[in-house]
Structure 1
């Protein structure tokens, strides 16, 4: 978060500094025709760039929201399996319930820091395999157990599927060349704005600083949201804390 604030502040300050230099260089010069020509170009380029930037921000926000929804869907399978296995013999019930709690803790303690680096946790991989093996080892003995066993298989499949989605969402969805184009477009837009002539230097400085602030903050916001498990707006493992409490244990 400190780096984001530094980038926004630096870009805003640099734009203001350059605008002061440009304003002093053009002091006393008339540029009404010059402003008229630049105005049409700036309007066209600015409209296109703002549409592109808005699309990126909306897309990254949608990805962040989708990651949050997927996490709650994944974690909800744990209490479901935990209580479905309660009708089975203790040899299966105790082992599976213990592994379910260990899985939730491992996701919080190991996989969340690993996803910050775009990786998966070997410990969670191992526990997921243990869950599969323990579920498949159960043999239903009556209609009630058969019904709950079918539900457990459904939860097991959803747990694995939603985890795969979560690990995939730990990687940025917008490619690097696209970011290069966005940053380059923002620099060009500010550069064109520097060509305008204002009656007062301070007016031009304020306009350029505001433009740089809006462009840089929007880019930084989109970049942060493109990494749902990294940075200042990363998704917390709150859903797994809730699942642990639902399984009767303090998170």
Structure 2
């Protein structure tokens, strides 16, 4: 990140040096008219580039939130399927499986979710409880074909649950790149600043345009900030998929 900022600053300083040298050693003629079209072109390009950065940031945070929601739904659904499949296992294994699934879901809802809202990645206790679910579903050697088929389907759902949990943990640690945050903040400031410099006379219309643009940029950046935290904020992914299947969790 520091290297990126250094490159950006270095390029900007080089461009500034070229402009200073141009005006010092090859100044425009006194009778030359100011080139307002150049100023308008620069301000237009700043706005277009900022729109690209803003769109990239919005797509990135929205995909992160959508992925987090999909992982949570898949994890809750897989846990519920394992609970239902336990009815086809022998009685001792069925009791152990139901108890292990209930313990896992209760831990996810009551312990992991508050930690994720604070930005903390879930610890190893959840994986230990998931291992307990995996170990509880064995069947004896004399199991019926139906019980063996049930065990195979249970193992398949355990694989889905395992992948979904890994995805949920990755979602907690994911976020918008600091480089994009730099582009959002600095680009927004430049876009508003150029409206003060070029293109519109200072009047009531100018004030209204600047206020509207500033409010829109601020709203969009705040929206990106809220979506950047998939398990916290106004648009947080909550534990509803788990509590819908396990209301007692």
SS of match in other structure, 2:246: helix
2:236 alignment partner, SS class: coil
- 5+ residue gaps, structure 2, are 1-33
For the 8 Å contact 1:77–1:159, the answer to whether it is kept is yes
> How far apart are the structure 2 equivalents of 1:176 and 1:51?
16
Equivalent residue number for residue 104 of structure 1? 105
Distance 1:63 1:79 in 2: 24
How many Å apart are 1:144 and its aligned residue?
A: 0.1
Change over 3 Å in CA distance of 1:34–1:198 after alignment to 2: farther
The structural deviation recorded for 1:138 is: 3.1
1:239 aligns to what SS in structure 2?
helix
Structure 1 CA distance, aligned partners of 2:96 and 2:124? 20
The answer as to 2:207 corresponding to 1:216 is no
Separation of aligned partners in 2, 1:242 and 1:95: 22
- Quick one: structure 1 residues 138 and 114, their matched pair in 2 at CA, closer, same or farther if it must change by over 3 Å? farther
TM-score of the pair, normalised by structure 2: 0.78
1:47 aligns to what?
A: 48
RMSD across aligned C-alpha pairs, in angstroms?
A: 2.1
Taking the aligned partners of 2:104 and 2:89, their CA distance within structure 1 comes to 20
Compared CA separation, residues 35 and 213, structure 1 to 2 (3 A): farther
Query: 1:11-22 residue pairs with structure 2 within 5 A?
Result: none
In 2, distance between residues paired with 1:170 and 1:91?
36
Structure 1 unaligned residues grouped into runs of 5+: 1-32
1:57 — aligned with what? Answer: 58
The structure that has the greater radius of gyration is 2
Give the C-alpha shift of residue 202 in structure 1: 2.6
Asked whether 1:120 is paired with 2:122, we answer: yes
* 2:140 is the counterpart of 1:139: yes
| 2:249 is the alignment partner of 1:242 | no
Cα deviation digits, residues 122-142 of structure 1 (max 9, x gap): 44233112112213x433611
Give the equivalent residue in structure 1 for 2:161.
159
Q: Give the direction of change, closer, same or farther, for the CA distance of 1:50–1:197 in structure 2 (3 Å limit).
A: closer
2: CA distance, partners of 1:148 / 1:197: 71
Q: Number of aligned pairs?
A: 215
Quote how far apart the aligned CAs of 1:200 are: 5.1
Question: What displacement does 1:35 show?
Answer: 5.8
SS at match of 1:170: helix
Q: How far apart, in 2, do the equivalents of 1:72 and 1:180 lie? A: 33
* TM superposition score normalised by structure 1: 0.78
